[in-house]
Amino acid sequence: MLIVRPSTFSDLASIEKLANHNSAKISTLPQQRDKLSEKIDASIRSFAGDESMEGKEQFLLVLENTDTGDVLGTAGVDRCAGNGQPFYNYRQDELIHSSHQLHVNNHIPVLYMTHELTGKTLFCSLTIDTEYRGTEYFELLSRSRLLLIGLFKERFDKDIIIEIQGVSDDEGGYPFWDSLGRHFFDMDFATADYYSGIKSKTFIAELMPSHPIYVPLLTEAAQAAIGTPHPLAEKNCQLLHREGFRVGKHIDIFDGGPTLEAQVGHLNTVKSMQSKSVKVSESTRGGVKYLICNGSFSDFRCVIGQLTDGIGDVIRINQALAKDLNVSESERITFAVL
């Protein structure tokens, strides 16, 4: 059985393995053990409501195979993008250069460094074992965050953002970085990314030049990378678009990848999810597949299960599901169609 639950320290080794797998390079999950350990610690304190995290909670969910105890994926939610520091992006904008005498109105795309997304709720650190990429468990992992946020709206910002990884070239170079950031750091993307991981992204952003960047002066490849998702991120993009996320004006300062934005209340999972009282029963069979979670915050659980939804406030689930969700008779579960 695969379930989503808050991460614990015993997941550290498994998560580290995931984080250092090749395809995880496009995730914002850090790769250093001490950084991962810090992240788990922050998540534990956040789920526990520890004061030290107040207002800048960082939640990390894991996808666990309960039969083996293996962690197969992670999905994070930062209450507050930037985690108390400014959260930087480039905002795509344009300037009009007019010459009335020449009857010319040139629209020049420019990138402004901005921190206006600071404080919005950020989805991050999504990674999953390669074997499970194409399965429904990827959707379970990614969308479990929507149930968490939908259930506990008051704990999150009303705006959700996600930074989608940008494109790299065949040699693993990042054309956007190579044409922009690299000039100011004299280091390749991987090195900058490494420092971003061990220091902070804010730290790097503050070293970037403060004047707007004229897009026409970037290389063709860099211009093409602006707002373009990495092929490995396309599946997740698709899922997020289906949920109601939309591409905004902001892009990542490193790789030029797009930022998706949505209001919590406009998300399909949030709009369609229902909560009902549990009746544990052995006689459930078949039904429609749902994402189902319990009603607990600190002991949040989310799984895929089949339900036959009726009209009343009570829903039948079987013993196994009740156990996975850690719910008893007449406690409430929340569910949305898979």
- Residues near a copy of itself (CB under 8 A) are 85-86, 93, 95-96, 98, 105, 114-116, 118, 202, 206
Hey, which residues between 187 and 246 contact another protein (CB under 8 A)? 187, 195, 199, 203, 206-214, 216-218
For tokens 């993009």, name the residue. Answer: 237
Distance separating alpha carbons of residues 170 and 245, to the nearest angstrom: 29
Residue with tokens 């009335």: 100
Q: How far is the CB of 103 from another protein (least distance, A)?
A: 12
- Answer with the entry of a copy of itself, another protein, none that 241 interacts with (C-beta below 5 to 8 A by kind): none
Closest distance to another protein from the beta carbon of 253 (Å): 14
- 54 Cβ neighbours under 8 A, 6+ residues apart: none
Q: Provide CB contacts within 8 A for 63, sequence distance 6+.
A: 2, 3, 4, 71, 72, 73, 74, 75, 128, 132, 137, 140, 141
CA 139, CA 320: separation in Å to the nearest integer? 21
311 near another protein (CB under 8 A): no
Shortest spacing between CB 265 and a copy of itself, in angstroms: 16
Which distant-in-sequence residues (6+ apart) come within 8 Å of 13 by Cβ?
none
Query: Could you say which residues in the range 103-132 bind another protein, by CB under 8 A?
Result: 104, 106, 108, 110
- The CA distance from 279 to 244, in Å, is 32
Stretch of 73-81, 165-173, 181-189, 326-334 contacting another protein, by CB under 8 A: 181-189
55 counts as binding another protein under rule CB under 8 A: no
Please say whether the beta carbons of 124 and 78 come within 8 A: yes
Question: What count of Cα atoms within 13 Å lies in the side-chain half-sphere of residue 7?
Answer: 31
Q: Check 21, 100, 230, 241 and give the catalytic one.
A: 230
Q: Which does 280 bind (CB under 5 to 8 A by kind): a copy of itself, another protein, none?
A: none
Q: What is the phi/psi pair of residue 37, to 5°? A: -65, -45
Q: Which of 97, 158, 246, 271 binds another protein (CB under 8 A)?
A: 97
Residue 94 sits in the site that holds another protein (CB under 8 A): no
Please tell me whether residue 49 adopts helix, strand or coil conformation. coil
| Contacted entry of a copy of itself, another protein, none for residue 104, CB cut-off 5 to 8 Å set by kind | another protein
Pairing of strands 302-307, 246-251: unpaired
Piece of the chain touching another protein by CB under 8 A; list 66-74, 137-145, 179-187, 253-261:
179-187
- Judged by DSSP in three states, 19 sits in helix
170 binds, among a copy of itself, another protein, none (CB under 5 to 8 A by kind): none
Q: Based on the residue annotation, tell me whether 211 is a catalytic residue of this protein.
A: no
Active site residues: 230
Interface positions with another protein (CB under 8 A):
95, 97-99, 101-102, 104, 106, 108, 110, 179, 183-187, 195, 199, 203, 206-214, 216-218
